[in-house]
Amino acid sequence: MKSIVLLFISLLVFSCTDGVTENITSKESEISLDFTEKTIANIHSAYEAGTLTSVKVVQEYLDQIESIDRNGPQLNSVIAVNPDALEIAKALDADWKAGNKKGPLHGIPVLLKDNIDTHDKMPTTAGSLALKNSFPPKDAFLVERLREAGAIILGKANLSEWANFRGELSSSGWSAVGGQVKNPYDITRNPCGSSSGSGVAVSANLTMLAIGTETNGSIVCPSSLNGIVGIKPTVGLISRSGIIPISFTQDTPGPMARTVTDAAICLGTMIGVDSKDSKTSISEGKALGDYTPFLKKDGMEGKRIGFYSSPMGTNFKVDDLMNKNIELLTEMGAEIVEIDEITPSETGSLSFQVMLYEYKDGLNHYFASLGDESLIKSLDDLITFNRNASEEMEFYNQKYLEMANEMESLDSEGYIETLEALRRSSQDEGIDRVMALHNLDAIVSPTGTPAWKTDHVIGDHYQLSSSSPAAQSGYPNVTVPMGYISGLPVGISFFGRAWSEPLLIEIAYAYEQASQHRQAPEFLSEAF
């Protein structure tokens, strides 16, 4: 029997005495502002009109987190709120009033996945009890860039513990620190991961933006299952320094938003060469500080797009929805070329081996960066901690941590050969080959399936995914809502060559404007 979590309108709609409507007639009027589905442009227009302040925006989001995330449906998407957020907002209001707009995100609240360091009153935990009281010595590079752009760090988002690379039979969105994140379209279902809280909080209108991280699927999958936009950039476009790592080769942070426009604005604020992340040196001359010029409604016209059909044939409902959207792309002026495979069969195994090698090295370096006061100083320490923490081992094991700990160093012949084999397989013989062969501008595929029921007994129930070719090569991927199956959102992915973010944003924006699939969640329970 269908049941619905009943929420009063006050849980879904914000009101304020100095808000904004579409037609502002008086700054002194008492105006109601519904924060649901608002954009950066909406908020900045209200700031400009003097009808809204950063303090009010932050307070309303904090109230919404309290009402919906911690009470009400209890989504568990926010692991911590920033106790200084209101003070930061107050200072930004003063700057705005003085005519000093700091940047494109001035006064805009942003949640960070809780594997991204902040040097403030919030710990960075990766969802693990081992780091529950870990306070990093400085902001991650991307956090510095966000602050420079005027963003307000609202808090930390819950995640799949250790970015879902800890052990077997895990449930995406579960961490020992934050508990299980719930999908806002049906709270009995899974949000996917590992950027679970980031995806849910944006979808549920608990923040304007969130930052996720991806090694393989961890931005695009939770974006798809939660009905939002996610951009996984080319590895090296945004620095990874100050982010708890898995893979130096595949890790990247990226923006998660309700619209392509907001995601594109956020993306441009985080780029920059960072001496602490050598991958970023390659981005010089390729990164852009502003991706909004590529938001073109006719951006699909004349594009030659490869339809990656390998994920098809597993779920007929996804197939039907995808085929309808392929028809839409054609109507929009794109030429569609079907491709069944992108990378050789051994690519997945090579990627997994590289991840294991790099995980051990990356974690040990990260733990060392925390200083002498850190409880955990090595991967050995972490494994030992978990073995003695019943809360950590209640649902699944730590096999991947243990496998990584057995790997040789990054100067070993085995690592060097495997890394080169992965590069060749995923790039030269993968995306680069396919796109050159068919003269493609981009590749399109369904991002995944609708959300499955959360299951702590046998873990996640994946059926299909298209994230691996872009993830394993380190190339960009953009996912956008493409419709609903029984009320559950499903995304469509556009990916392509290295540094092709402008082209992918152009295509994704044109598709979004033509389709307009995004719908706010209703917090149903056991509805389907």
pLDDT digits (tens, 9 = 90+) for 41-90: 999 999 999 999 999 999 999 999 999 999 999 999 999 999 999 999 99
What's residue 527's pLDDT?
Answer: 52
Start-to-end C-alpha separation, the chain: 9
d(C-alpha 425, C-alpha 423), whole Å: 6
What's residue 35's pLDDT?
Answer: 81
Q: Is residue 499 within 8 Å of residue 288, measured between CB atoms?
A: no
* Residue 38 belongs to a domain: no
* Residue 43 belongs to a domain: no
* Residue 14 belongs to a domain: no
Of 219, 218, 187, 221, the closest CA to residue 204 belongs to 187
* Residue 2 belongs to a domain: no
Q: Is residue 134 within 8 Å of residue 370, measured between CB atoms?
A: yes
Q: Find the radius of gyration of the CA atoms of the chain.
A: 22
Strand partners, 473: none
Residue 518 makes CB contacts below 8 A (sequence gap 6+) with: 37, 227, 228, 258, 259, 481, 512
Q: Is residue 92 within 8 Å of residue 58, measured between CB atoms?
A: no
d(C-alpha 43, C-alpha 36), whole Å: 12
What's residue 33's pLDDT?
Answer: 52
* Residue 5 belongs to a domain: no
Q: What is the 3-state secondary structure (H, E, C) of 56-121?
A: HHHHHHHHHHHHHHHCCCCCCCEEEECCCHHHHHHHHHHHHHCCCCCCCCCCCEEEEECCECCCCC
What's residue 4's pLDDT?
Answer: 33
d(C-alpha 169, C-alpha 187), whole Å: 20
Full residue range of the structural domain in which residue 119 is found: 58-525
CA distances from 363 to 232, 348, 358, 485 (A): 22, 22, 8, 39
* Residue 26 belongs to a domain: no
* Residue 469 belongs to a domain: yes
Tokens for 287? 């990164």
* Residue 203 belongs to a domain: yes
Residue 5 makes CB contacts below 8 A (sequence gap 6+) with: 72, 73, 187, 523, 524, 525
The answer to whether the bond into 445 is cis (omega within 30° of 0) is no
The torsion angles phi and psi of 231, rounded to 5 degrees, stand at -115, 115
What's residue 74's pLDDT?
Answer: 97
What is the domain count for the chain? 1
Query: What does DSSP say about strands 524-525 and 209-214: parallel, antiparallel, or unpaired?
Result: unpaired
Question: pLDDT per position in the chain (528 positions), as tens?
Answer: 333 333 322 323 223 333 333 332 323 222 335 789 999 999 999 999 999 999 999 999 999 999 999 999 999 999 999 999 999 999 999 999 999 999 999 999 999 999 999 999 999 999 999 999 999 999 999 999 999 999 999 999 999 999 999 999 999 999 999 999 999 999 999 999 999 999 999 999 999 999 999 999 999 999 999 999 999 999 999 999 999 999 999 999 999 999 999 999 999 999 999 999 999 999 999 999 999 999 999 999 999 999 999 999 999 999 999 999 999 999 999 999 999 999 999 999 999 999 999 999 999 999 999 999 999 999 999 999 999 999 999 999 999 999 999 999 999 999 999 999 999 999 999 999 999 999 999 999 999 999 999 999 999 999 999 999 999 999 999 999 999 999 999 999 999 999 999 999 999 999 999 999 999 999 998 755
What's residue 528's pLDDT?
Answer: 55
Q: What is the 3-state secondary structure (H, E, C) of 245-288?
A: CCCCCCCEEEEEECCHHHHHHHHHHHCCCECCEHHHHHHCCCCC
Helix axes 141-148, 260-270, angle to 10 degrees: 110
d(C-alpha 196, C-alpha 487), whole Å: 19
Give the CATH number of the domain where residue 434 resides: 3.90.1300.10
Q: Which residues are catalytic?
A: 113, 194, 218
Tokens for 418? 């495997």
One-letter amino acid at 137 equals P
Q: Is residue 196 within 8 Å of residue 498, measured between CB atoms?
A: no
Place of tokens 């409507």: 21
Tokens for 86? 């209101």
Query: What does DSSP say about strands 304-308 and 442-446: parallel, antiparallel, or unpaired?
Result: parallel
Chain centroid to Cα 165, Å, comes to 16
Of 67, 75, 420, 474, the closest CA to residue 249 belongs to 474
d(C-alpha 16, C-alpha 59), whole Å: 10
Chain centroid to Cα 460, Å, comes to 18
Burial class (CB in 10 A: 0-12, 13-18, 19+), 470: buried
What's residue 10's pLDDT?
Answer: 30
Residue 140 makes CB contacts below 8 A (sequence gap 6+) with: 116, 117, 118, 239, 241, 242, 243
What's residue 148's pLDDT?
Answer: 98
